[in-house]
Amino acid sequence: MIEFRHVSKRYEGNALALSDVSLSVAKGELVFLAGPSGAGKSTLLKLIAAIERPSAGMVKVGEQDVGRIASSALPYFRRKLGLIFQQQRLLADRNVLQNVMLPLIVVGTAQAEAEKRSRAALDKVGLLDKASSPPPALSGGEQQRVAIARAIVHRPQVILADEPTANLDRVSAGKVLDALKSFHSVGVTCLISTHDEEFLQAADRVIHLQGGRLVGNIGQPAHAFVEERLS
């Protein structure tokens, strides 16, 4: 589903943010990305979303060579993805439901259908009762769950979450993670970066980065190896 072949990324004027990374993630896997600050976790996620392009190597999502997607085709490509990045704040001047509806409205979904699906997404993250609230009235953990609802409302094939539990207490972090896991359980491929040791210990698959290099790839399932060999 996702494949990195000898991928390096250098931001202009900087050292390598990612250095010769090769890995694959099978459809439906839940994978955690671990590593100290500056290890390259966000960069790896941004390459998958084509927010950044690789300096060398190839990033594939499905059959698509992501580094070569034309800018004009990016909005269509990104419909496959649900992005939970720290920069994507909720809009404070719209209520929770309107925030979740946004990705559907921009692709032309009818208002009534968008509202129905957004309510269902809020229900899945346990926040239907907050639909009419303004985001600033919610706790950090609740806002993060709204961000998850917004990221999945268009039924993406892949969820990319960059430190979704940062700055949350244990209980809130657990709820955020449970919400993400519920999408994994219905077949969505999930990549989640985290510093959180507790979550990492409970994870089936952890990719460790350090200084832009892959230093650990624990729990890669057998079928992913087979896919690699066949490709």
Ligand X SMILES: Nc1ncnc2c1ncn2[C@@H]1O[C@H](COP(=O)(O)OP(=O)(O)OP(=O)(O)O)[C@@H](O)[C@H]1O
- Dihedral pair phi/psi, residue 90, rounded to 5°: -75, 150
Give the nearer residue to ligand X in terms of CB position, either 14 or 72: 14
According to CB under 6 A, which residues from 15 to 34 bind ligand X? 17
Binding-site member from 7, 24, 34, 41 for ligand X (CB under 6 A):
41
According to CB under 6 A, which residues from 177 to 216 bind ligand X? none
3-state secondary structure of 28: coil
Q: Shortest approach of ligand X to residue 177 CB, angstroms?
A: 17
Binding-site member from 19, 42, 99, 189 for ligand X (CB under 6 A):
42
Binding-site member from 1, 27, 38, 140 for ligand X (CB under 6 A):
38
Q: Shortest approach of ligand X to residue 231 CB, angstroms?
A: 26
**Distance separating the N- and C-terminal Cα atoms of the chain:** 12
11 binds ligand X (CB under 6 A): yes
| Residue given tokens 């509202």 in the structure block | 115
User: Which two three-digit tokens encode residue 140?
Assistant: 């950090």
Beta strands in 35-93 (DSSP E): 56-61, 64-65, 81-84
Q: Which stretch binds ligand X (CB under 6 A): 11-19, 126-134, 139-147, 150-158?
A: 11-19
Q: Which stretch binds ligand X (CB under 6 A): 9-17, 104-112, 132-140, 141-149?
A: 9-17
